């Protein structure tokens, strides 16, 4: 089965055609994609035949806790969740619509980033806010990057030869989150109701005292200004004057820039803190895995992070915890989920 993976980001489109053994048959990325059909049409014109399509969808809400075959009703339910992921959900829908139109006879499957975290226990998923709020708006910690965490944690356990391991997965890119994974199931994560929560990211704040946000609104910030600041001008970009790219921040820090040095220190502090918290949720840790653009390529960051975690058995002189780097392959996870669903329903 040749399976097309459609990974629509907030501003990019990644298309990858995988053979039965996940061999990459064709591959392309459109960096500035506004939802038009043309890139997919061009890709299909030069690619081998497609037998099924798997789509990455960021938010599945409480409705979708596993891969789901797409029909008109499912598409409508995905669209209804747009308010929970306003940057990503419309692009996923654009990818779905384009693929359904161009490959109308081919089965299409939606794979959700939030679904992996649906297994979190209530103690980890529930917010301590008024019960009437939780009931009215279905407020809970959903978690994100689930497709990446699912693949990375499984692959890391295989590489470390530790089946059933307690894995802390670190997905570090422009967006960043951690997941606590026990025997392949998510039991905790750092992101919450939205992808703003948790770690310091490129331009996103991560965890902030909610009282601070209330105070800022009372001080005169509008809701739009608050949202824009937390989403686009916080994180590394807010801490340093070198922008949100960790490579630029590191270069500025090496040149003695005090703001960049502080940015790195805050980033690593919160990362170590989060890893320890995930280990606590697991009752220990067997494998620590780094994935994503930063996690895979920044060896100095990995060294700085693990240097402060010796108390967990992590370090160069310890074999208690395996430290593994895994290439991010959401496409393989999407393909696996899609094939599994189609086999179960055939």
Cβ 158 vs Cβ 287: under 8 Å: no
Distance of CA 275 to the CA centre of its chain: 16
With b meaning 16 or more CB within 10 Å and e meaning fewer, what string describes 15-34? bbbbeeeeeebbeeebeebe
Distance CA 201, CA 163 (A): 31
Catalytic residue among 21, 113, 188, 257: 113
Question: What would the DSSP string read from start to end of 75-140?
Answer: HHHHHHTGGGSTTTHHHHHHHHHHHHHHTTTS-EEEEETTGGGGGS-HHHH--SS-HHHHHHHT--
Distance CA 269, CA 92 (A): 34
* Six-digit token string for 139: 């407020």
Rounded to the nearest 10 degrees, how much is the dihedral formed by the CA atoms of 184, 304, 237, 263?
140
Q: Which residues pair with 57 in a beta bridge?
A: 112
CA distances from 309 to 41, 109, 279 (A): 49, 40, 11
**Which among 63, 116, 52, 48 is positioned nearest to 343, based on CA atoms?**
52
Is residue 185 helix, strand or coil?
A: strand
- What does residue 104 show for φ and ψ, rounded to 5 degrees? -65, -25
E strands, 266-341, in order:
287-291, 322-325
Catalytic, 113? Answer yes
E strands, the chain, in order:
3-8, 13-18, 24-30, 52-57, 68-69, 108-112, 166-172, 176-182, 185-189, 287-291, 322-325
Q: How many residues does this entry show for the chain?
A: 346
Query: Which are the catalytic amino acids?
Result: 113
């Amino acid at each position: 089965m040749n399976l097309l993976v459609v990974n629509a980001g907030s501003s990019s489109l990644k298309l990858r055609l995988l053979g039965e053994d996940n061999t990459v048959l064709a591959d392309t990325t459109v960096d500035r994609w506004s939802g038009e059909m043309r890139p997919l049409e061009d890709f299909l014109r030069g690619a081998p035949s497609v037998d099924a399509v798997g789509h990455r969808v960021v938010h599945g809400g409480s409705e979708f806790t596993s891969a789901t075959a797409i029909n008109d009703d499912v598409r409508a339910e995905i669209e209804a969740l747009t308010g929970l992921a306003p940057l990503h959900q419309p692009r996923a829908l654009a990818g779905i619509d384009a693929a359904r139109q161009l490959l109308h006879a081919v089965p299409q499957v939606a794979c959700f980033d939030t679904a992996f975290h649906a297994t979190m226990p209530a103690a980890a998923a529930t917010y301590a806010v008024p019960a009437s709020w939780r009931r009215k708006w279905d407020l809970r910690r959903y978690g994100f990057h689930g497709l990446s965490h699912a693949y990375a944690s499984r692959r890391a356990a295989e590489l470390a030869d530790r089946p059933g391991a307690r894995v802390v997965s670190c997905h570090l890119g422009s967006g960043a989150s951690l997941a606590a994974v026990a025997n392949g199931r998510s039991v905790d994560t750092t992101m919450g109701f939205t992808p703003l929560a948790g770690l310091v990211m490129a331009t996103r704040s991560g965890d902030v005292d909610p009282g601070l946000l209330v105070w800022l609104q009372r001080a005169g910030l509008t809701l739009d200004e608050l949202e824009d600041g937390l989403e686009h001008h916080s994180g590394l970009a807010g801490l340093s004057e070198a922008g949100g790219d960790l490579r630029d921040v590191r270069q500025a820090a090496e040149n003695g820039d005090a703001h960049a040095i502080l940015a790195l220190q805050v980033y690593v502090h919160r990362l170590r803190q989060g890893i320890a918290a995930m280990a606590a949720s697991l009752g220990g840790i067997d494998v620590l895995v780094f994935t994503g653009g930063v996690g895979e390529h920044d060896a100095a960051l990995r060294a700085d992070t693990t240097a402060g975690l010796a108390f967990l058995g992590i370090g160069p002189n310890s074999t208690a915890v395996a430290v593994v780097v895994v290439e991010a392959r959401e496409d393989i996870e999407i393909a696996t989920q899609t094939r599994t669903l189609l086999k179960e329903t055939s």
